[in-house]
Amino acid sequence: MHSVINHRVANGLPTVYTSNVMLADLAQVFDARLADRIREQCVEIRFVGESKRGLRKTA
C-alpha cells in the first residue's frame, strides 16, 4: 500500500481514497508515515445516514 501511495504522491497523480476509517484514525491502521502522507493530500468528506442494505423490495 505504501509504495502505491508514495508513487502517486511523488508523481503528483490525483488519487481518490474511500474508507470507513476517519483521517484522524489512520495511524492506528497504517504506520504514522503513511498516515501523514495520506492526510496531507486529502480533504475529508463525510457521508452520513442509515444503511439501506437489505431494504430493497424484490418484484
Residue whose C-alpha cell reads 488519487 in the numeric block: 15
Total domains present in the chain: 1
- The domain of 8 spans 2-40
- SS3 breakdown of the chain: % helix, strand, coil, rounded to 5? 40, 0, 60
Q: Is residue 48 part of a domain?
A: no
Where do the H-state alpha helices sit in 1-59? 2-10, 26-29, 32-40
Please report the pLDDT score of residue 11 as a whole number: 93
Give me 40's grid cell.
496531507
Give domain status of residue 49, yes or no: no
pTM, 2 dp: 0.59
Q: What angle do CA 42, 28, 49 make, to 5 degrees?
A: 60
pLDDT per position as a tens digit, 1-58 = 888 888 988 898 988 888 888 888 989 998 888 888 888 888 888 888 888 777 766 6
pLDDT at 58: 65
